Chain A
Amino acid sequence: EVQLLESGGGLVQPGGSLRLSCAASGYTFSTYAINWVRQAPGKGLEWVSGISAGGDNTYYADSVKGRFTISRDNSKNTLFLQMNSLRAEDTAVYYCAKALWDLWGRGTLVSVSS
């Protein structure tokens, strides 16, 4: 089955860190770029970060630049998002989405609160 499955979300204090994972299956992961998108409770979608197929090029929204790091392990068909210096406004469901946007995961909830 072609799918993306996020994990690693949870409750973290402001200033803390969290690492999200996105496991891909059913397609050739190493062939496609992939993105992270988030959605705060009751709000719209926000593109967070993207990475090229080989991992050489990374891109970030201004809101997370310098705090979040995207990476991938093509040997394990897995995408990562290292989130540092977390703020309350980072609270959201985080989705991974394949380039061409034809495949999305179900999301993982990150809550930043003391």
Chain B
Amino acid sequence: QAVVTQEPSLTVSPGGTVTLTCGSSTGTVTSGHYPYWFQQKPGQAPRTLIYDTSNRHSWTPARFSGSLLGGKAALTLSGAQPEDEADYYCLLSYSASKVFGGGTKLTVL
């Protein structure tokens, strides 16, 4: 089974910009992996932010954007807010299975 890697932790200043990445042990991440990004706050279920690489849900703030960058999936937060402090997970699809990344703990400080 593939391994999906994310930065364990990142820190961003309020109003700043940060990029989280999502890599695959099988090689380059493509749109064919249908990358998803989720946000999870303590004690809550995850919430989807981005689907199919770069599409936002109706509830996703415009400051979040998804892309493919340097062979990985990427989530960019532009203009970080205190409420963006959370754990972020990516999900990649591999034909018959799906694999979550280990998660990135984002601190807004």
Contact = CB atoms under 8 A, between A and B. Distances in A.
B36 A44 contact: no
Interface of B: 1, 36, 38, 40, 45-48, 51, 57, 87, 89, 91, 96-103
A102 interface: yes
A46 B45 contact: no
Interface residues of A, number: 20
B36 A101 contact: yes
B98 A105 contact: no
A35 B96 CA distance: 12
Interface of A: 35, 37, 44-47, 50, 59-62, 95, 97, 100-102, 104-107
Given A45-B40, A102-B57, 13 more contacts: A35-B98, A45-B38, A46-B100, A47-B91, A47-B100, A59-B97, A59-B98, A60-B97, A61-B1, A62-B1, A95-B45, A95-B46, A105-B45
Contacts of B1: 61-62
B45 A101 contact: no
Given A45-B46, A104-B46, A104-B47, A59 B100 contact: no
A61 B100 contact: no
A35 B46 CA distance: 14
Contacts of B103: 44-45
Contacts of A62: 1
Q: List the 7 shortest-distance A-B pairs measured between CB atoms, nearest first.
A: A44-B103, A47-B98, A45-B100, A104-B45, A101-B48, A62-B1, A59-B96
Contact of B97 (A47, A97, A100, A107): A47
A23 to B, nearest CB: 15
Given A62-B1, A101-B38, A44 B100 contact: yes
8 contacts: A37-B100, A47-B98, A47-B100, A50-B98, A101-B38, A101-B48, A102-B48, A104-B45
B34 to A, nearest CB: 10
Given A45-B103, A62-B1, A100 B51 contact: yes
